[in-house]
Every structure is written in C-alpha cells, then in structure tokens.
Structure 1
Amino acid sequence: MSADTTPSFGAIIIGDEILSGRREDKHFAKLLELLKARGLRLASVRYVADEPPRLVQALKESFAGTDIVFSFGGIGATPDDHTRQSAAAALGLPLELHPEAEAEIRARFGDEITPQRLQMGVYPVGSAIIPNPYNRIPGFSIRNHFFVPGFPVMAWPMVEWVLDNAFAHLHHRADYVERSIVVWEALEGRLIDLMEAITADFPDATLFSLPSVGGEGQPRHIELGMKGPAARVDEAMARITAEVTRRGYAWEPRADL
C-alpha cells in the first residue's frame, strides 16, 4: 500500500483474442476512467493468454500482492474459458457451485437450464458473487480479486458496482493530484539539471517527463509534471514554471489529469 494507506488497483485482462489482435482491448481505458472518477489509481495491468499454466502463475503472483485487482474474461462455460479453474488452482482451493449464483442462473434460464450453464456459477470455495445487471449470470470475488466477463456491456457495470459498494470508503480519500505543463521546443537533456533539483527537493512527490518529437502541426515538446500530495505538487510546479520561464521557454498548462 501507499504511504497514505489507500490501496492501489490492478487489472488482469485475459484472452487469446486480445493478444492475437483479433479484438482490441477496451477494458484498460475504461477501468482507468472509472477509477479516476473516484479518486483512485491504477497501479498495474497484465495481459494473459487463455492458457491455464500462465493463468495460474499470473494469479498466484497477483494473489500474493496487496493490490485490489479486477480480472476481465474467461469465466464462461466453454472449453476455452479457464479463469475460474485457474483462480481455484492458484489458491489451492476446490471449486463448488455457489448457491446464490445457482439461483441467479436458474432464474435467468428457467426451464432451459443445463449443467453447462450451471458451470458458470462454479467458483473457488469461499467466493462471493458480483451481480450482473445485463443477464444475471454473476461474476465472483475472492481475496480482493474481482472476476468479471470479457464483454464490456456486462463487465463495466459490474466493476462500477464493486467500486461503489465494496470500496466507497476509499473514494477521493488519497491526497493525490497530477499537474503538468507542456514546454515547447524543449529537449530533455537541457532540463535534466532542473529535474534533478526538483526530485531532490520534493522526495514526497514524483516528477515525470514525457518528451515528444512533434508532428501533425505541433513542434517538439516535453510534458513536464509532478504527482503526489496537492500542496507539494503545487509548490514544485511553481518552481518548475518559474525556471522554464527564466530559461526562455514558452509553455502552457495541461488540463488536470
């Protein structure tokens, strides 16, 4: 956890179709949007193929950490879905049909229920369900990991439900902001001394520098900024803007991130 004790969030995005390029991942950008809207931060993203050995290893490593993690994909009932089984193997737990999931799936399919459909409610022992407002087939959670389908129309409302029900107490709790300016026609090499001085004087905040060679009507530039506690970031940015002005650079603020 960070110094302010607010947990970080992570994502595991599962699917051969993403890694092969047959489908474009949209979960990363959406999760980032949902977290930022609540004053929360994304610390890691991992893409994993639909291969049980890789999934088990990735989940073992993830369960061993402290992040709150959303896992997208692979919780269906077809032979290429391995996430439920891999989560159980990573934790050394058996699988069982969750009674609440069974009730939801039976309510969804009625007389058309099949053993294969009920398999979608089989989770590692000790799991809780995540409601699915789209088709009532739940996801599941265990040990601060939240498993949702790969379909955005289902996954994103389920992630929002988790964030607003399980983690509302974390919303906008951290004293954390990001501020930056765009310094036109600047080279990183000519600003390294400034960056080093700011880094030394503001150890409780983090400097970042994102250079661009320009193009599409824009000259080369550097996005130079700070992230961390608001007061310290504001103080550091005041120093940065004063110094780049003194050195004769044109600059403009970037919108808050």
Structure 2
Amino acid sequence: MKSIYQRYFDETLFGQKNGISYSLQSEIGAGNAYKLTTYSGIQIVYHDIRYHEPYPFCFASRGRMVELQFTLSGQRQIIVSGREHQTPVGRGALSLIEDFQAHFFPSAQEQYVSLSLAIPVSLFDYAAMHLATSPNMNFGFDRLKEQSFRSYDFEYDTRSMALVKQLITDFKNDNRSPLMMEASALELLNMHMNQLFFLTPRPNGFSKGEISFGVISRIVLHFAPLFIILLLSLTQMVPLWHIATIFQPDVVPWLKIMTVLMALKGSMEIIRLKLLKISMWRR
C-alpha cells in the first residue's frame, strides 16, 4: 500500500527524477522535492520549489499520518477538510491527519522551502506511551486528533533548525547516511513531542483538559517557600522563625528576598498559563 506522501507525489504536480528526487512540472514552476524513507518508516521530505503563477490544486487520500513540518522560506495556504491551515516562515506544525481532502494555494514567484517528516502512527503512539506522565493517560493519535485534521503550532528553536539544515544538507550529499538522517529525524520528533506533553514551550492547540501537571506543580513549588515562611512566622507552637532571627540575623533578609523572587516567578507562571489558555484553539 502506498504511503500518503507517495500518492501525493504520484498524483499531483511532480515527476520522479530518480529514487529520491522529484521535479516540479516545468510548465507550472521550477525546483525539486526529495523523499527518503528511513528504516523505522519515517518519510523525510524536502521541498525547494517556485511556481510561475498561482496554481491551486487539490489532493485527497485515505489513511492516517502524523506530519511534523518546518517552513524555511515562502508560505502557502492549505484548507484541509474544511479547516484553514497556513505555514508561515519561522513556525512549524505537528499535524494529525486521517482520511482527508486538502486544497493547496501556493504563492507565485516565491521560493518555497520546507522540510517535513511523515511519521507512522504506530511510531507516534509508541513515543506517546513512553512520554505520558501517567500510565493512565492516553495521549495517542486517536486521543489527540478528534477529527480528520488537527494541528499544533510551534516556534522552532536553534537545535531544531540545526537538525533541519543538517537533513537538507544530507539530501544534497550523494554519500548521505540514511541512519544518520533517521537519527536526526527521531531527535526532531522527540523534541517536539516533549513540547506536546511537557509544555516547554507549549504548542498552540491544546485543549483545557490537556494542561500538563508539570506546569501546575512548578507554580506550587514557586509559592511553597512563601507559605512555609508565613507559617513559621505566625506559629507560636514552634517559633523557628523567631529563633532564626536571633541566631542567624544575616540570613533572614536573604531568605525574604529569595522568597519574594520565587513568589514573583510563580506569579509569572500563572500569567503565562492564563495567556496560553486565551490562545487555545486558534485553529
């Protein structure tokens, strides 16, 4: 059975040049795309193309796939199963796709450069099972998707960009190592699934019930010293705070300053969490 990406190249605007490269039809535009399948089944796809004129086209497919995409240059608008999805430069997306129809609206006279990973659902679920913070949490493909298309946006960091550029360089190298490319692809997947589960930083698209317990625990830890000091200050049964002011007077101001700073940090975490809640479900 052909993969979704393979059907995309066979049925849209590309013609195969050799085992891994495809050329955009000359009457439509210029440039090439590359596709390599790793041992674990990840398909790594690199686009470097330019359209002569705006050329909307449609592609539909059955099947399931997780796509991790990074846009380096240009942009294109896509409507997937009735939902608008854009790929602006400097942002990436982790998308969960099943039995979909997509309408593509690429820009003309603009170089479009992107790198994508098509991740088998079985591999995604395997990683999700080991990253979940509790054995009772089901954060696999079916739990997160909820519909035929769902996308979590993120800003990629320096390490992600380095891995993406390394994969692009590997595509251009005739002596490329598929194992090294797979290692880079797996590291990218692991990094952004950690974002998905541990919110560091949290990608757009999370629902209210999917807030990580780690965020709440960090807020509690920031305020814990403040509550402890207040308790010790007020209690008469065990006047530890009063004893500290007598025997270690120099330590007391430092403790007060650190307590205030940690409380302020906890307040910032609360503000950040509320802002993230406001931005939920942009898509």
**What TM-score do you get using the length of structure 1 for normalisation?**
0.23
TM-score, normalisation: structure 2: 0.22
Kindly indicate which of the two structures has a greater share of residues assigned to strand.
2
